[in-house]
Amino acid sequence: MKLITYTLNADGTIPDYVTDGGYWAWENGGTSPQDLDLVGVAIDTAPQEGFADEAALISYGNSKNFAYTDSRTGEFISVESMASNLWAKLS
């Protein structure tokens, strides 16, 4: 398993090689439904290169200026914390 960035298929479905996804949506300038880059867990044979390590995932999140606030508590959630939670999905 590996963490990758991906877009939806042209018909709006999730690619077959993604087993858990929809994280860190980022507009990519494409046409709906392929207008978002997403992060997800994929099988090893997925065509995309996976993030090398958790630090690379954090770097990606920081490059996109991701900011999260827990909708229930209003608490800010750091990119590092979100990346750690995503990386743990590989275990």
- Residue 82's pLDDT band (cuts 50, 70, 90): very high
Is the model's pTM score more than 0.85? yes
pLDDT beyond 90 at 70:
no
Beta-strand ranges (E) seen in 1-91 are: 2-6, 18-27, 36-42, 68-69, 76-77
β pairing state of 36-42 and 18-27: antiparallel
What pLDDT sits at residue 68? 87
Percentage of residues of the chain with pLDDT beyond 90: 91
Residue among 15, 23, 13, 14 at smallest CA distance from 51: 23
DSSP SS3 for 73: coil
pLDDT beyond 90 at 29:
yes
What pLDDT sits at residue 67? 84
Number of domains in the chain: 1
Look up the domain containing 72 and give its range. Answer: 2-88
CA atoms within 13 A on the CB side of 49: 5
Residue among 35, 29, 87, 41 at smallest CA distance from 61: 87
